[in-house]
């Protein structure tokens, strides 16, 4: 009882930083949401987001570890073809299916919030038709345009991997619909489990297929008198696992949907909330919902394809065509490591959009502001220390995971690009906030501005300064930073949201600096005490990471970056509070 009283006393209106504007005051009086319901709503979306984040981190870790033997098999050149093919595949995936979970979850959650279960079921059926059409077109474009895309990237042998990925685009479209429906219903568990299954199958098939096809490619080298067929075939084998994993995940979600059909029918029979929407009306709304998300996501993610194109063209112009595939493969290793902490922001965004949509449909401003504040703070509590950790532990982590002759360059670009983790995490969450409050076009406008600046800086650094792969790294950081600033301005404008800086940014950064110093010291100490060898390097990294987590947690509490109330709101909050009390931190 004492704990609950403390929690209620310390609860404040989040995100406002002062009095609410006049146009919201009347809405507050009309809606009068209960504090307990606000707290419950905010905590629930964090819990659901954390489930997806945990699955996302596990997926990224599986992906990281299977990429180690995969890269050992296909080499930096093969990884260059693999990474290049995935850049094109990702854009077509965004157009055909990446936006579907977001759009479907947003539409379904808004209907569920009003008790319109029949309309939510009709949205599911209409979305499947969309997936069949758009997914099929995207698959055809990837299959028949593989040679064109590969030639434009100055990596013609990546066409094999591109064609292997073509059927996957179609499967992912249907999978996106099912995941979006479950997310709109308020549960991230089916998405989380399907992602784990998908990645496990992906890892097994990718390694096996790459090993087999690499050897077949070596035979092709002898027959055709070339040197690149082994790398190209190996990269295609690596992408084969992506399709296999997606198909298994689709079967899993499809099975869940079949078991859930009775519940859907029962809900529809009891539905008395509003008129049934026609399929034509739903198709129109679905298109209007998907289109801004597709465009903004495409612009937001197309930077990797643009980077790949200009990097290939620029290096060829500078007479360094022989290193294009290898250096892009090294960049792919950095990107694999970089995406692990960013997965938390992606998962939080997937949970945030339907949650915000329900709060907006209910005109509950208290919940809207509470969710915005919680999402930004939670993402920064993870992303900022991740950036610092990648910086100070770049050498031991990369040497452990990717030991090769290119290790020095990989370490350097990881240090140079570590700050991108924080900026990309914040820009991803802020995109989700704007989409969740029905400002669908705003992230698109901001992304276009950021992309234009990104391209200009990339060309100057690449052709003018001749910075090579570093031009890609720094222009990406600038792109994400610009998105953060523009999205932040838009959120402030549309919600009259006043960002809190001290506990959201400054204190986590200070705690991260202390954490970084501790991690670096532990790593350096173990480096001197332990003998050489990959196993001992693993011990060194594990000790440094453990020290970093412990020091960061202590600093967050002692410097009051988080309080007891906020610890309770986090996943496993009660356990965290008990541990903090046993250690006499609270």
Confidence of residue 48 (pLDDT cuts 50, 70, 90): low
Pseudo-torsion of CA 343, 426, 299, 339, nearest 10°? -30
> How many angstroms separate the CA atoms of 251 and 565, rounded?
41
Neighbours of 408 (CB within 10 A): 11
| C-alpha to C-alpha distance for 86 and 133, rounded to whole angstroms | 22
The secondary structure of residue 187, as a DSSP letter, is: -
Residue 506 pLDDT: 96
In this predicted structure, the answer to whether residue 375 has a pLDDT above a threshold of 90 is no
98-150: pLDDT as tens digits: 778 878 888 888 787 777 778 888 888 888 888 898 889 999 999 999 989 88
35-93 helix and 117-144 helix, angle to the nearest 10 degrees: 20
**C-beta separation of 241 from 206 below 8 A:** yes
Distance CA 553, CA 569 (A): 16
Q: In Å, what is the CA distance from 187 to each residue of 111, 262, 297, 395?
A: 15, 18, 23, 39
Give the confidence band of 482 by pLDDT, cuts at 50, 70, 90. Answer: very high
C-alpha dist (Å) from residue 262 to 113, 116, 253, 257, 268: 20, 16, 16, 10, 10
Q: Which two tokens stand for residue 238?
A: 């690596």
Q: What are the pLDDT digits (tens) for 422-466?
A: 999 999 999 989 988 888 789 889 999 999 999 999 999 999 998
Establish how many alpha carbons lie within 13 A of residue 545's alpha carbon, considering only the half-sphere containing its beta carbon.
11
- Please report the pLDDT score of residue 513 as a whole number: 97
Token pair of 545 as six digits: 């990471």
> What is the model's pLDDT at position 406?
59
Mean pLDDT of 167-174: 92
> Residue 44: what pLDDT?
58
| Spatial distance between the Cα atoms of 22 and 259, rounded to a whole number of angstroms | 49
Overall average pLDDT of the 462-472 stretch: 91
What confidence tens digit (pLDDT) does each residue in 8-46 have? 434 444 344 333 333 333 334 333 333 344 444 444 556
Q: Is the pLDDT of residue 376 over 50?
A: yes
C-alpha 529/C-alpha 546 separation (Å) is: 17
The string of pLDDT tens digits covering residues 214-259 is: 988 888 888 887 788 888 899 999 899 999 999 999 999 999 989 8
Structure tokens at 388: 């610092």
Mean residue pLDDT across the chain: 83
The proportion of the chain whose per-residue pLDDT surpasses 90, expressed as a percent, equals: 35
Residue 389, pLDDT above cutoff 90: yes
- What is the average pLDDT across 179-188? 83
Asked whether the predicted pLDDT for residue 572 surpasses 90, the reply is no
Rounded Cα distance between 106 and 154, Å, is 39
* Residue 183: closest CA among 113, 263, 72, 104: 104
Which pTM was predicted?
A: 0.71
Q: Judging by beta carbons within 10 Å of its beta carbon (0-12, 13-18, 19+), is residue 261 exposed, middle or buried?
A: exposed
């Amino acid at each position: 009882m004492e704990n609950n009283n403390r929690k209620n006393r310390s609860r404040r209106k989040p995100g406002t930083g002062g009095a609410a504007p006049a146009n919201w005051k009347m809405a507050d009086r009309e809606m009068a949401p209960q504090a307990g319901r606000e707290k419950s709503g905010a905590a629930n979306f964090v819990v659901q987001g954390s489930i997806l984040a945990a699955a996302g981190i596990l997926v990224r870790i599986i992906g990281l570890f299977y990429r180690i033997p995969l890269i050992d098999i296909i080499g930096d050149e093969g990884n260059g073809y693999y990474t290049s093919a995935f850049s094109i595949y990702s854009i077509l995936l965004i157009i055909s299916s990446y936006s579907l979970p977001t759009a479907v979850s947003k539409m379904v959650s808004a209907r569920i919030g009003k008790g319109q279960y029949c309309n939510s079921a009709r949205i599911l059926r209409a979305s499947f038709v969309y997936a069949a059409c758009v997914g099929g077109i995207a698959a055809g474009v990837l299959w028949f345009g593989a040679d064109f895309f590969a030639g434009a990237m100055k990596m013609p042998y990546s066409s094999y991997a591109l064609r292997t990925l073509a059927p996957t685009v179609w499967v992912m479209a249907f999978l996106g619909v099912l995941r979006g429906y479950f997310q709109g219903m308020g549960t991230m568990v089916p998405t989380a489990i399907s992602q784990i299954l998908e990645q496990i199958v992906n890892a097994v098939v990718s390694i096996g297929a790459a090993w087999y096809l690499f050897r077949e490619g070596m035979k092709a080298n002898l027959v055709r008198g070339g040197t690149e067929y082994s790398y190209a075939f190996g990269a295609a084998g690596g992408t084969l696992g992506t399709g296999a994993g997606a198909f298994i995940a689709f079967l899993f979600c499809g099975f869940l949907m079949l078991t859930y059909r009775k519940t859907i029918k029962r809900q529809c029979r009891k539905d008395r909330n509003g008129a049934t929407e026609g399929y034509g009306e739903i198709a129109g709304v679905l298109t209007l919902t998907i289109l801004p998300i597709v465009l903004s996501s495409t612009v937001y993610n197309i930077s990797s394809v643009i980077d790949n194109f200009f990097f290939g063209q620029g290096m060829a112009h500078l007479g360094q065509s022989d290193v294009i595939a290898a250096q892009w493969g090294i960049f792919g290793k950095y990107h694999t490591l970089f995406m692990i902490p960013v997965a938390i922001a992606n998962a939080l965004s997937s949970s945030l959009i339907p949650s915000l949509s329900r709060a907006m449909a209910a005109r509950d401003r208290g919940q809207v502001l509470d969710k915005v504040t919680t999402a930004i703070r939670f993402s920064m509590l993870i992303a900022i220390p991740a950036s610092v950790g990648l910086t100070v532990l770049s050498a031991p982590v990369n040497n452990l995971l990717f030991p090769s002759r290119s290790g020095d360059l990989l370490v350097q670009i990881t240090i140079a690009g570590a700050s991108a983790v924080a900026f990309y995490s914040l820009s991803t969450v802020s995109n989700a906030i704007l989409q969740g409050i029905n400002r669908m076009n705003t992230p698109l406008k901001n992304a276009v501005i950021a992309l234009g600046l990104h391209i200009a800086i990339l060309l100057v650094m690449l052709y003018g300064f001749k910075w090579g792969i570093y031009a890609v790294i720094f222009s990406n950081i600038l792109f994400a930073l610009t998105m953060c600033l523009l999205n932040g301005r838009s959120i402030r404008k549309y919600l009259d949201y006043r960002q809190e800086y001290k506990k959201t940014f400054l204190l986590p950064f200070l705690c991260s600096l202390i954490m970084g110093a501790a991690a670096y010291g532990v790593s350096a100490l173990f480096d001197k005490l332990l003998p050489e060898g990959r196993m001992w390097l693993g011990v060194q990294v594990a000790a440094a990471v453990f020290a970093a987590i412990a020091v960061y947690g202590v600093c967050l509490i002692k410097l009051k970056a988080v309080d007891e109330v906020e610890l309770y709101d986090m996943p496993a909050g009660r356990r965290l509070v008990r541990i903090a009390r046993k250690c006499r931190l609270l």
